[in-house]
Each structure stands twice: as structure tokens, then as C-alpha cells.
Amino acid sequence: MSIKIYEAYRVPVSRLNEFMGYCRATVYQHLESRMFMYLTFYGDIPAAQEKAENSPYWKDADAEKRKWMVLYQAVQNIIKQIDSDPQVKNDIDIEASLNIWLDDKYAYDIPYGIRGRSYPNWAEDYSYQNQVDRPEHISAQTYGARCRKWEKLCLNDWNATRMNHKIASFDLGFYDTEMWMENYVKEHPDLLDVYLERDDNEEQASR
């Protein structure tokens, strides 16, 4: 039987929560970089501000509320672009999770959909393939032990003891994308400040 476990890690059970947190931070770091980019190219902050100012609620809104009204319109601009551009959809179409098996003192993890990843040195590489040559830096005894471990954990029945930890699920249906972006920017209130300040500087320079 051909075995292809391209990427897997073994971590102490005592550090499993830490490992899951590390994976989550990696995924959201990718999203954060994309948010800056999409606000730059698709947010159209000046147009968003103009539309917000035309709202009947603008007059009675305080400064903080007005900022979020502008932000909401900028998010709508991004959503429209995502909805019509397959390339943008693919860029943030993220389904990230960890398949986890527990055995004695260790958790054996196979990540799925985690981009731009780099793991801490205490997360031991535990990949295994039997259709290619054994990596030179791994002894035959150690590699054989990996094979037996995976056979015990999941190769005979993948789901028997598997747990799945969902890290992120961004279904790029219109509503889901909008909900994610609005929640994300609320957690990073300085994002809009950066772009409003930039637009003010550009307007002053053009005078």
C-alpha cells in the first residue's frame, strides 16, 4: 500500500493548545496582509467616505461611529470585487484545520490549508512516505517507527480516533465574506486610520 503523509508533526500533548494557537496565528497573519492589500486596491476610501456622509445617520453620529460607517462602505467595495474576481476569491478562500490523533504523551497532527507556515522547533516533523527514498537525515529505524505509528493511528481506519480542529473557515459566499471582513477590521481599528490619514495627506498635496 502506498503511504503519502506529506506533512505531519508530533508535539507533546502538554503543548497541543500552544500548537493550535500557533497555527491559528499563522493563518490570521496571512489574512492580515491581505486586508491591507485589499483596502489599498479595492476599498476606495474616498468613495466610501462620500457614501457614508450621504447616509441619514451621518449627522447624528459621533467621530467613532462615523469611522465605522466609512469602514462599512469600504468593506462593501471589497466584497463587490471579491464577488466578481476569481483570483481574489482564491487568495482568501481559506479552509484551515488540524487533524489530530492522541497517543500516550504525544499528539500527531496533519495540518490542512495552512499557508505561509513555519512551525516552532519543538513541533517534530513526522511526515512519512513509502513510495520515495527515505530522507538521508532520518535513520531507517526511526523512519520505520513512524510508519508503524501511522499504521496504528489512522491508516487502517482514518476516522476511528481522529479529531478535527477547525482553525478558519472562510466560505466566500457574499454573506460569509462580508461578515468575516467586518469582524476582522473591528478587531484592528487602526486599519482605517492608516488609510484615512493617507487620503488626507494626498488631498492636501494636490492643493
Q: Chunk the chain into consecutive blocks of 10 residues (it has 207) and report each block's average pLDDT, rounded to whole numbers.
A: 88 96 83 74 86 93 82 80 72 81 96 80 93 90 94 91 85 54 65 60 54
Contacts of 147 (CB under 8 A, 6+ apart): 3, 128, 130
**Count of domains forming the chain:** 1
* Cut 0.95: pTM above it: no
pLDDT, residue 172, reads 47
pLDDT, residue 45, reads 84
pLDDT, residue 188, reads 66
pLDDT, residue 65, reads 81
pLDDT, residue 115, reads 66
Q: Is 115 left (phi over 0), alpha (psi -120 to 50) or beta?
A: beta
Q: Which domain holds residue 173?
A: 4-206
